[in-house]
Amino acid sequence: MTSTTSPVADTAHERRPIGSLVWHVGALLVLAVVLYPVIWVLGASFKPSKDIIASLDLLPTKPVWANFSGLADGISGISIGSFFSNSLMYAGLAVVGVVLSSSLTAYAFAKIRFAGRNLLFTLMIGTLLLPYHVLLIPQYVLFRNLGYIDTLVPLVAGKFLATEAFFVFLMVQFMRGLPRELDEAAKLDGCGHLRTYWSIVLPLSRPAIITSAIFTFINAWNDFMGPLIYLNTPSKYTVSLGLMMFRDQEGISNYGSMIAMSLVALVPVVAFFMAFQRYLIDGMATSGLKG
């Protein structure tokens, strides 16, 4: 922050053009490594299957659309759209669940003085460090006994019950930073906690909510292990499982289409990232500083 305005820093790199050159060469080098796989998949999607691995050209000499039109046939009788709508449903429910449950919980931690608050907060932070493996098997047994295998319930139940402690933590930090005068004024005006939460704290917490929502969407969209364990019927598969099915059943004969579908699967994540990167990066940064 200070260095932006600091005259010392400014004159320093005006004086050293070589330093500036080294900086840009270094940054561009890292950029090339970071972007290579992304540009590779973009290029490969437009190459004929046989050229994808063997050709070193990053972009195709003559782009073909066959890989994408090949997707229209679906995989083993299931349309590609089905995987995408299943993923969208999963990610959408996850976002609603996380935003509602985490913001309610965070409001209690940040704005209500109740007995046992510190103890519960410590417990919540503790769950952040708990390896999820230990919950994998008993949760599976639980959802199996309840008859929810092969549904989205096991995948989203935790999101509606604020088990994503990272987002609760993020929102608590944000809500604690809101000026106390606002909710005191609301209290004097006769607002109960529900009104204060809904019409004052929630709208003001928009940045933290957007960050949590986008992260949740991306995590659910990428989630592989959850669907792998809980979903059995191919028509209920998410994009991750659809891709794996693609590889197991047609991966060799139809390699180009599999790569094209990989590209399409990345589009929502990259689009969200480009639109909201500020929120995501700032959200990550504050979590580290205050943790």
Partner 1 sequence: MTLVKEAPVRPVKERSAAPDAGRRGRRRENLAGYLFMSPWIAGFLLLTAGPMIASLYYAFTSYNLFTPPQWVGLDNFTTMFQDPRWQKSVEVTLKYVVVATPLKLLLALGVALLLAQNRRGQALYRAAFYMPSLIGASVSVGFVWRALFSDDAVVDRTQKIFGLDVGGWIGNPDYVLYALVALSIWQFGAPMVIFLAGLKQVPQELYEAAEMDGAGPFRRFWNITLPMISPVLFFNVLLESIHAFQVFGSAYVVSDTRCGPADATLVYTCYLYQKGFKESQMGFASAMAWTLVIAVALVTAVLFWSQKKWVHYEEAAK
Q: Is 210 an interacting residue with respect to partner 1 (CB under 8 A)?
A: no
Q: Does 276 bind partner 1 (CB under 8 A)?
A: no
Q: How far apart (Å, rounded) are the C-alpha atoms in residues 50 and 128? A: 45
- Stretch near partner 1 under the rule CB under 8 A, chosen from 64-72, 75-83, 123-131, 174-182: 123-131
Amino acid identity, position 166: F
Of the candidate residues 14, 15, 30, 180, the single one contacting partner 1 (CB under 8 A): 30
d(CA 262, CA 250) in angstroms, rounded, equals 14
User: Would you call 14 exposed, middle or buried from its count of C-beta atoms within 10 A (0-12, 13-18, 19+)?
Assistant: exposed
Strand partners, 75: 78
**Per CB under 8 A, which of residues 102..121 are in contact with partner 1?**
104-105, 107-109, 112-115, 117, 120
Under rule CB under 8 A, residue 124 binds partner 1: yes
Does 279 help bind partner 1 (rule: CB under 8 A)? Answer: no
**Is 137 among the residues that bind partner 1 (CB under 8 A)?**
yes
Single out the residue of 8, 18, 119, 252 in contact with partner 1 (rule: CB under 8 A). Answer: 8
For 78, phi then psi, to 5°, come to -110, 130
What length does the chain have? 291
Number of residues that bind partner 1 (CB under 8 A): 100
Cα 280 to Cα 291: distance, rounded to the nearest angstrom: 16
Q: Binding pattern to partner 1, positions 243-262, x when CB under 8 A?
A: xx--xx---------xx--x
Shortest spacing between CB 77 and partner 1, in angstroms: 21
Q: Which residues contact 37 (CB under 8 A, 6 or more apart)?
A: none
Per rule CB under 8 A, is residue 49 in the interface with partner 1? Answer: no
Interaction of residue 271 with partner 1, rule CB under 8 A: no
Does position 18 bind partner 1 by CB under 8 A? no
Please identify, using beta-carbon distances, which residue of 89 and 264 lies nearer to partner 1.
264
- In the chain, which ranges are continuous DSSP H helix? 2-5, 7-15, 17-44, 51-54, 66-69, 80-111, 117-129, 133-145, 153-160, 165-176, 180-188, 193-195, 202-204, 206-222, 225-230, 239-250, 255-290
Rg (CA), the chain: 24
Among 132, 176, 177, 206, binds partner 1 (CB under 8 A): 132
Binding segment for partner 1 among 65-73, 132-140, 170-178, 202-210 (CB under 8 A)?
A: 132-140
Q: Which amino acid is at 101?
A: S
Q: Return the residue of 11, 63, 69, 142 that touches partner 1, per CB under 8 A.
A: 142
* Least distance to partner 1, CB of residue 60, Å: 15
50 sits near partner 1 (criterion: CB under 8 A):
no
Of residues 159-198, which lie at the interface with partner 1 (CB under 8 A)? 160-163, 168, 192-193, 197
